[in-house]
Amino acid sequence: MKVSEKLHEAKSGDNSENLSAAGKLAYYPGCSLKGTSFEYEVSLLRILEALNIEVKEIPDWNCCGASAAHSINHNLAVALPARNLAIAENGGYESVLAPCAACSNRLKSADYELKTDEILKKKITDSIEMPYNSEMSINNMLEFLIGVVGKDKIKTLVKKPLSGLKVASYYGCLLVRPPKIMQFDDPENPVTMDELVAITGAEPVDYSFKTECCGAINSLSKPDVVMALTGNVLYDIKKHGADLVVVACPLCHSNLDVRQREIERKYDEKLGLPVLFITELLGLSFGIDPKDLAIDGHMVAADRVLKKIEELSK
């Protein structure tokens, strides 16, 4: 049985141990997790350790092509992720975890195109000099946690419920769109991350801009646009009373976290919203030391929230 079928069979089931024991879970970190979002990787590997799940980094992986390749050269945009996928597939893996939303988006898009276009497939497999048969399931962070690990298993590890904490989940665009290719959650009103938040014992906060654009890579070329868009999201979250924000995308994180001080200055209104990766929040609920989750690596300090967690758990 293929991993994808297993996923389908038991959405909340636990297939991780078998797969992990068999060494069938590939991990594609991409550039962000090795650089600007190292906290994401640190916390991810830490919670997987707690869950007793082993993922193996794809050997000799390369850029997924996000941001630049698909707007310049279509073949390159497919070939780059296809090479990573082909290495994994030929290495006998059944499932790929790509925690970065842009990476998972590119990997899934390439896989979709190769699955539906025989001529393109021929061209790409010739140029990467490897066969590829689209036989693996490709998962973003949330899909992996809910579909491969399973809610029930995560629940068993929650030792320090975060009850009393109000958490807003911000999905951004790439996790759920385009829906035809991502095949994941409701593209206009996603709920998967909120479900994970609920498992930690925290209270998911409903607000209006869950999938609104954060401005993405315009952060470098048009920071004003990004501040306006990200500002909309952050102020709406604030208005709905959240203590912090969780994300599953490095670029979202960077805009919401790194630009926050500037946004506060520009709009002259305090935000003070720590932005954590979903893996960090899960880690906290597992009772892992915040330092081991690299929570001190963010621009907006999470101290107040950590203190609140400590107080609530007393």
Residues that bind other proteins (CB under 8 A): 186-189, 208-209, 212
Considering the complex, state which of residue 9 and residue 186 has its C-beta at the smaller distance from other proteins: 186
Q: How far is the CB of 186 from other proteins (least distance, A)?
A: 5
The CB-of-178 to other proteins minimum distance in angstroms stands at 10
Minimum Å distance from CB 209 to other proteins?
A: 7
- Least distance from C-beta 221 to other proteins, angstroms? 22
Q: Toward other proteins, which CB reaches closer, 188 or 296?
A: 188
User: SS3 sequence, the chain?
Assistant: CCHHHHHHHCCCCCCHHHHHHCCCEEECCHHHHHCCCHHHHHHHHHHHHHCCCCCEECCCCCCCCCCCHHHHCHHHHHHHHHHHHHHHHHCCCCEEECCCHHHHHHHHHHHHHHHHCHHHHHHHHHHHCCCCCCCCEEECHHHHHHHHHCHHHHHHHCCCCCCCCEEEECCCCCCCCCHHHHCCCCCCCCCHHHHHHHHCCCEEECCCCCCCCCCCCHHHHCHHHHHHHHHHHHHHHHHCCCCEEEECCHHHHHHHHHCHHHHHHHHCCCCCCCEEEHHHHHHHHCCCCHHHHCHHHCCCCCHHHHHHHHHHHC
Residue 159 or 239: the one with the smaller Cβ distance to other proteins is 239
Cβ 189 to other proteins shortest distance, Å = 3
CB neighbour list of residue 72: distance below 8 Å, 6 or more residues apart: none
Smallest gap from residue 232 Cβ to other proteins (A): 11
Identity of the residue, 187 or 297, whose beta carbon is nearer to other proteins in the bound complex? 187
For residues 38 and 235, which CB has a smaller minimum distance to other proteins in the complex? 235
Give the residue with the Cβ less far from other proteins, 43 or 211. 211
